[in-house]
Structure 1
Amino acid sequence: MFWDSLPLLFVAALLVWLLVSFVREKWSPDVVAAIAVAALLVTQILSPGEVLGVLSNSAPVTIACMFVLSAALERTGCIDALGNWLGNLVGDSPVRVLAGLMITALVISAFLNNTPVVAILTPVAIALAKRAHSSPSKLLIPLSYATVLGGMLTMIGTSTNILVDGVARKAGLEPFGMFEITPAALVFAGVGFVYLMLFSNRLLPDRDTLSKQLRPDLGRTFMTELLVPHDSPVIGKTLHEANLNGGSGLQVLKIFREEQEFTEPAHDTLLAAGDQLVLHGQVKDVVELRESGHLSFNRSDAFETISSHDVILAEAIVGRNSRYSHRPMRDLDLTARYGIAVLAVHRQDENIQGNLDDLHLQFGDVMLVEGTPAQIKRFAENGELISLNTVQERAYRRDKAPIAIIATLAVMLLAAFELMPIEGLALIAAVTVVATRCLEVDDAYKAVDWKILSLIFGMLAISIAMDKVGLIDLIVERSMAAVPNASPLMILGFVYLLTTVLTEILSNNAVAVLITPVAIGIAQSLGLDPRPFVVAVMFAASVSFATPIGYQTNTFVYNAGGYRFSDFMRIGIPLNILMVFVAMLVIPRVWPLVAL
């Protein structure tokens, strides 16, 4: 008996490891899922044929094609034109700016992947905030939330909808129509819109972006790196003699000398040629040090910045497909390639400054860079970064815009009339925009988030293993025991709440794959139509508001807006709770909880 239960125990333990690994983020989620699938193959719980069978699921192919369509609309300037139109429409009223930005994001993200929508509209939001004499932190979380709510409106609005539909089809449910979820989703979007209009200004901080934090007139401090050249007159002098002991407003925190590191250099520490200094001080002091010879030596023969001396500071955020991500900055050689300097990097709730050579950039990191506008523009374009100071000018293929628009509309309308399954229409449209050169083939490949697709395939295989060993049935049984004698409505709320909580700490796509079979099993055990329970998972796996890690758009604006983790909790937890009640009121009205 014990040996018979070993596969179930192994898969359960593997699932726990999977969830813990997602939270710890030692490896990326796609790698974690791949390791789990490999373990299932080694233990022969899954056969190679069963693993490769997940490739027959149409959802990942549809998601990849929608990435390509989104990129085509971006490349042809459609979204940029809409952003410019929005800026001319809303004027400088903070209320109109907030409303206009959210409505625009809601509408666009109903038909496009919401991560590029946020990436494109973030510079627009910052420019609008400046025009309205407000802070970008008042707009960027509402922007992210609006794209999340907009993605719920149609089946192609977010990868989660497509994925849940694919899993449900495999379980024998009828496919969801293009606009089947729209009436219910409009209620969610309307409630979220009203909530943000009423409370975002009160609950969100008035916080500066990184470049504002480092403005000399604000008197804030930061760290930077300097090098002692071989001909510097300060060689052999102590920090006190070089006026770097705090009296000048500058303080040396670390000295790197070949293989040595002085973490707390004393006032009498002697400087040597080649020393790399990490200094802490106000921006104005560092600017004076580098540009006006504020100390008692000339700039040309004293300290040299590791970065270049140039005219403006600008912010750039690391995009999803940036070639700079996951590589140490020393390997990027940015100064030699572009002539720009990275002065600071902001990640989540900290500014990572000093000893930047060893830093591995990540999606969402905000870099404070120095250089000419042309240098910064070339640096951002080549590395697929997004400039946050101004809307980035690009060579859009505007003459191809009608093709991209028609292709996207054709997918929606033809799918709505059920002339062809959505996966076929999406594939035809994706091939069309590439064949007509709305974007190049290389750009199409870059547009697809292969990590998300790898994660989806891995989670689909794990879901098969859970079903094969009886783990899904066990979870359904234990879930029902946890809510004995509860009404179907309360159980629907339980499914929605469970999915929401998991989505806040895990990948939304991973949660969707894991919970959808459980939700179907719970409905079937009650003798009810599984469709409303599947919709509950579909919506709950999208509406991630309480943390910056549950959804990519939240992660993106987390750094761009200079937010703290608690900012998301303050505004997101009440909204999540509100959505639970909306789900319990709306979903049963559109999809009645009736017996099969």
Structure 2
Amino acid sequence: MTTPQLLSLLVIGLMMVGFVSNRLRYDVVAVVALLASVVLGIVPADKAFSGFSDDIVVIVGSALVVSGAIARSGILDLALQRIALAIDRPRAQLVTLVVAVTALSAFVKNIGALAIMMPIAFQMARGSRVSPSMFLMPMAFGSLLGGLMTQIGTSPNIIVSRIREELTGASFAMFDFTPVGAVLAVVGVAFLATFHWLLPERRKAESGLDEAIAIKNYMTEARVTETSAVMDKTVSSVQKLGGGRAMVTGIIGDNGRRRTPFPDAKLRVGDILLMEGEPDALDKMVALGGLSLSNRMPVDQTQDNEAGSVEAVIGQNSLLVGMTAQELALFDRTGVNVLAVSRRDKRFTERLGQIRFENGDVIVLHGNQQRLPEVLRELDCLPLVRRSIRLGSIRRGLLPLAILVGAVAAATTGLLPVAVAFFAAAALMVLVGTLPLRDVYEQLEPPILVMLAALIPVADSLRTTGATDQIAGWLSTAAQALPAWGAVGLILVAAMAVTPFLNNAAAVLVMAPIAAAFATGLGYRPEAFLMAVAIGAGCDFLTPIGHQCNTLVMGPGGYRFGDYARLGLPLSILVILVATPMLLLVWPV
């Protein structure tokens, strides 16, 4: 081997050690590997930052924004209501999510299927009080398995079909991949449902502070209107919308009389509901129940100065202490609304505007984003660490889901490249207001995007230095004495091995010609070997960098680099053991 080839393998090997050791964060390891590659001359200086414009970085970043907009829209809450009633155990939820994303991935791009299902996974995890890490990696692996079933399910299948047409004059058909792919999908889903416990429970690194300051007993009030979904329904039906994490503590009729909120008490138009619970549960009760926040006045907002909510603690010298929002005419004075109040070990029975504030009370204020900091200073209130408070936010219903479906359809039919389709969807989400501009960058996972962008030119150094050709030569030599099943298995393992460094599409472009020439040299038909390349390239379960689906869940799931191998290594072995005889059965050599 030449010196550049050895240096390329050395850098990638040391980088893998850095990832697994977890001494430095993964994006720092990738940046150090990129700088080392440039210094050693195996990555040209003018190509060092080419990864930042790569389609994979655009796809992952856009998918995170789209997924955040879908989750914020509230449309999935409606879909989950019926599912949640029937499926409330985490393992049953895991099976449902994995089966759904696997089936969906057969007919749409697997990154699109995963983006559709991720917000549902977050909702289920929150309702079951488990970490999203229990669901996300199995879902990502399920999306990869589902993509094996049809020609359009994943990029390797499409590329292999084109290469077969160039070699033999006949492309693979849409469902030529189904016999082997469907068996792998069924076996893989069964494995994920049974051995998901191999994954350690992870949480996003920044979630600890959010959980530490999480307020569990906010009080707010909302009015039943003529268009409310809960009109003429019972109190218990409203409380079910909050998933058991919020309750109705009082009812004030249109005539001002109070009623006891018995579970079977009927709700009438004009009723004001006093509610207490966690912010997201209160938000669901208001949004899904079609309730109106009774004390909220319209806030001035423009495209640049959007309305939003902030949590704040009332200070000792605040002018709010000893006063009520009504006495202060707070909205007329400041232009902000009080949406909710929380006091330690206190259940409020009075209406929101009649609560007399005390030092240490936590309040949710809603108003113009640029005006809120000035109002907090004026009121002598200390803002809590920023976290998502959706109570009082504007929703767009079906619109974000329609945008996502349109993007997936455009990518699946070839009307637009995947990167362009998802980037356009993310831009549309912002333009139509489904995701406020201030929240866009919170949805992105900068460490993940930096890691990807840095790794792309490092991994490509294997190809540019000729190391991949050298490895291919070794494979041909090693397979001369192997039987047919051994040769097919070798190609399958080799495709799996190179995919993390070349990404799945590049791995097919490198390995498919090698596999075809390899089969011809051994006197075999090429179909089983080309299919082995597609399966190997589509089944990167060992790292977060070989496929964008794995990368997409790394940040939200709080996973470490080595976590992928814990679940992915036995799954990879299972795929090899099942795929090899199935390939020879369906595609005799």
TM-score bucket of the superposed structures, by smaller chain = 0.5 to 0.7
The 5-angstrom pairing of residues 221-240 of structure 1 reads none
How many angstroms apart in 2 are the aligned matches of 1:491 and 1:38? 38
1:447 corresponds to which residue?
Answer: 443
CA 1:167–1:397: 2 relative to 1, 3 Å: farther
The 5-angstrom pairing of residues 54-453 of structure 1 reads 54=51, 57-90=54-87, 99-104=95-100, 106=102, 110=110, 112=112, 114=114, 121=121, 124-125=124-125, 127-128=127-128, 141=134, 144-154=137-147, 185-195=181-191, 199=194, 204=197, 397-398=394-395, 400-453=396-449
User: Counterpart of 1:485 in 2: which secondary structure?
Assistant: coil
2:460 corresponds to which residue?
Answer: 464
CA 1:80–1:551: 2 relative to 1, 3 Å: same
How many angstroms apart in 2 are the aligned matches of 1:416 and 1:41? 37
How many angstroms apart in 1 are the aligned matches of 2:383 and 2:184? 36
Contact 1:492 1:584 in 2 (8 A): yes
How many angstroms apart in 1 are the aligned matches of 2:514 and 2:538? 17
- Kindly state the Cα deviation for residue 439 of structure 1 after the two structures are TM-superposed: 0.7
Match of 1:40 among 22, 26, 37: 37
1:519 corresponds to which residue?
Answer: 511
Contact 1:532 1:587 in 2 (8 A): yes
Name the aligned partner's letter for residue 47 of structure 1: P
How many angstroms apart in 2 are the aligned matches of 1:43 and 1:468? 14
2:4 corresponds to which residue?
Answer: 7
Contact 2:460 2:502 in 1 (8 A): no
Structure 1 unaligned spans of 5+ = 130-135, 211-223, 225-311, 315-335, 340-369, 386-391
Contact 2:145 2:539 in 1 (8 A): no
- Kindly state the Cα deviation for residue 476 of structure 1 after the two structures are TM-superposed: 1.8
1:30 corresponds to which residue?
Answer: 27
CA 1:116–1:416: 2 relative to 1, 3 Å: closer
Moved over 6 A (4+): 164-183, 207-210, 336-339, 370-381, 554-560, 587-590
How many angstroms apart in 2 are the aligned matches of 1:487 and 1:85? 53
Any idea what the Cα deviations from partners look like across 1:98-121, whole Å, max 9, x if unmatched?
644544555678564748955753
How many angstroms apart in 2 are the aligned matches of 1:89 and 1:459? 43
Any idea what the Cα deviations from partners look like across 1:479-529, whole Å, max 9, x if unmatched?
3444443356544433544666799xxxx6777588556534642541557
Name the aligned partner's letter for residue 411 of structure 1: A
Any idea what the Cα deviations from partners look like across 1:444-466, whole Å, max 9, x if unmatched?
33323333333333332123322
CA 1:397–1:74: 2 relative to 1, 3 Å: farther
Contact 1:178 1:415 in 2 (8 A): no
User: Counterpart of 2:482 in 1: which secondary structure?
Assistant: coil
Structure 1 residue 532 corresponds to structure 2 residue 524 = no
User: Counterpart of 2:416 in 1: which secondary structure?
Assistant: coil
Structure 1 residue 541 corresponds to structure 2 residue 544 = no
Structure 2 unaligned spans of 5+ = 204-211, 213-276, 280-310, 315-342, 347-360, 366-381, 521-525, 545-549
Contact 2:508 2:534 in 1 (8 A): no
Name the aligned partner's letter for residue 463 of structure 1: A
How many angstroms apart in 1 are the aligned matches of 2:420 and 2:133? 35
- Kindly state the Cα deviation for residue 471 of structure 1 after the two structures are TM-superposed: 1.2
CA 1:126–1:559: 2 relative to 1, 3 Å: farther
How many angstroms apart in 2 are the aligned matches of 1:427 and 1:511? 20
Q: Percent identical across equivalent pairs?
A: 18
2:305 corresponds to which residue?
Answer: none
How many angstroms apart in 2 are the aligned matches of 1:176 and 1:64? 32
Contact 2:159 2:508 in 1 (8 A): yes
Any idea what the Cα deviations from partners look like across 1:415-443, whole Å, max 9, x if unmatched?
33322333332232222111111112332
CA 1:393–1:188: 2 relative to 1, 3 Å: farther
CA 1:502–1:77: 2 relative to 1, 3 Å: farther
Any idea what the Cα deviations from partners look like across 1:150-183, whole Å, max 9, x if unmatched?
354359x9xx967x79999999999999999788
User: Counterpart of 2:419 in 1: which secondary structure?
Assistant: helix
2:48 corresponds to which residue?
Answer: 51
Match of 2:469 among 458, 473, 484: 473
How many angstroms apart in 1 are the aligned matches of 2:415 and 2:425? 14
CA 1:16–1:442: 2 relative to 1, 3 Å: same
How many angstroms apart in 2 are the aligned matches of 1:184 and 1:19? 32
How many angstroms apart in 2 are the aligned matches of 1:375 and 1:495? 61
Name the aligned partner's letter for residue 407 of structure 1: I
User: Structure 1 stretch 42-51 or stretch 182-191: which is displaced more?
Assistant: 182-191
How many angstroms apart in 1 are the aligned matches of 2:134 and 2:43? 42
Contact 1:77 1:396 in 2 (8 A): no
Contact 2:164 2:172 in 1 (8 A): no
Question: Considering only aligned residues, what root-mean-square deviation do their CA atoms show, in Å?
Answer: 5.6
Name the aligned partner's letter for residue 536 of structure 2: V
Name the aligned partner's letter for residue 578 of structure 1: L
CA 1:476–1:459: 2 relative to 1, 3 Å: farther
CA 1:119–1:153: 2 relative to 1, 3 Å: same
1:220 corresponds to which residue?
Answer: none
How many angstroms apart in 2 are the aligned matches of 1:380 and 1:535? 53
Alignment TM-score, normalising by the size of structure 1: 0.52
CA 1:458–1:85: 2 relative to 1, 3 Å: same
How many angstroms apart in 1 are the aligned matches of 2:530 and 2:481? 21
Any idea what the Cα deviations from partners look like across 1:86-140, whole Å, max 9, x if unmatched?
2123367x886564454455567856474895575356247458xxxxxx69x97
Contact 1:41 1:48 in 2 (8 A): yes
Structure 1 residue 20 corresponds to structure 2 residue 5 = no
Contact 1:66 1:430 in 2 (8 A): yes
How many angstroms apart in 2 are the aligned matches of 1:191 and 1:584? 14
Name the aligned partner's letter for residue 24 of structure 1: S
How many angstroms apart in 1 are the aligned matches of 2:98 and 2:412? 26
CA 1:167–1:464: 2 relative to 1, 3 Å: farther
Contact 1:146 1:193 in 2 (8 A): no
Contact 1:153 1:182 in 2 (8 A): no
1:343 corresponds to which residue?
Answer: none
Name the aligned partner's letter for residue 537 of structure 2: M
Contact 2:93 2:124 in 1 (8 A): no
Contact 1:50 1:461 in 2 (8 A): yes
Name the aligned partner's letter for residue 82 of structure 1: A
1:581 corresponds to which residue?
Answer: 577
Alignment TM-score, normalising by the size of structure 2: 0.52
CA 1:396–1:88: 2 relative to 1, 3 Å: farther
Name the aligned partner's letter for residue 87 of structure 2: V
Contact 1:195 1:575 in 2 (8 A): yes
- Kindly state the Cα deviation for residue 405 of structure 1 after the two structures are TM-superposed: 1.5
Contact 2:411 2:421 in 1 (8 A): yes
